[in-house]
Amino acid sequence: MGTVKISFDMTLDGVFDQMDKWFDPGDPGLQRASDELVFGADAVLIGRETYEFFREYWPTQTDDRGFAAHYNALPKYVASRTLSGPLDWNATLIDGDVADAVRGLRDRYGSLISHGYGELAATLMDAGLVDEVRAGIHPFLIGDAEVRLTTPHPVGLRLLGVESYDSGVIAARYAPR
């Protein structure tokens, strides 16, 4: 049975948006962590908003590590109530119950990754389908922002490991209790 890893980045005060103010894609530590996650993945699980943003961004990217080419080639499964298929960018719309679909995908793939912590992540967590949560915590405070880390109910996690990078970013890995 495959694993599901959720990965996201946020500021110290839990903000996900306004990334142009605080996210540094050139951080070598973050690049290593992203490489480990993405090159080890067999498929991607994403929600509609992430899909719409990523499908515009990633197909135009290139790099000397092969990261963009690998990410673009991965099969992607999109959870959405508003999109209709077929989808582009090597993506398939999840039809029906998301938790049931992901259970089937876990039987099919060794490692599935999901980006962000929105409705899809909460659904996966509620269904007991998350094996690992990876949070990149950036040394930045936004203050008054609308988009923050939220969850519909408390979720207990246990620490698997922590790395810190020269940029001040802390990468924490957790598993559900």
Percentage of the chain beyond pLDDT 90 is: 73
CATH code assigned at 105 = 3.40.430.10
User: What's the pTM?
Assistant: 0.92
Instruction: Name which of 45, 66, 11 is nearest 122 in CA terms.
Output: 45
CA atoms of 172 and 160, how far apart (whole Å) = 8
Q: List the structure tokens of 87.
A: 């989808």
- 118: pLDDT strictly greater than 70: yes
What is the number of other CB atoms lying within 10 angstroms of the CB of residue 9?
A: 21
Contact 17, 10 (CB under 8 A): no
Domain boundaries, position 72: 3-176
- Can the peptide bond before residue 86 be classed as cis, meaning omega within 30 degrees of 0? yes
CA atoms of 69 and 62, how far apart (whole Å) = 7
Provide the pLDDT for residue 107. Answer: 96
- Mean pLDDT confidence for 114-125: 91
H/E stretch holding 138: strand 132-138
**Tell me, what amino acid is at 71?**
Y
Q: Which of 22-36, 123-137, 141-155 has the lowest mean pLDDT?
A: 141-155
Give DSSP secondary structure letters for 20-36. Answer: HHH--TT-HHHHHHHHH
- State the pLDDT confidence band at 148, using cuts at 50, 70 and 90: low
**Residue 167 carries which DSSP code?**
T
Paired sense of beta strands 157-164 and 111-115, if any: unpaired
Total number of domains constituting the chain: 1
Provide the pLDDT for residue 85. Answer: 76
Q: What is the pLDDT of residues 56-113, one digit of tens each?
A: 999 999 999 999 999 999 999 999 999 997 999 999 999 899 999 999 999 999 999 9
3-state helix, strand, coil in the chain (%, to 5): 30, 30, 40
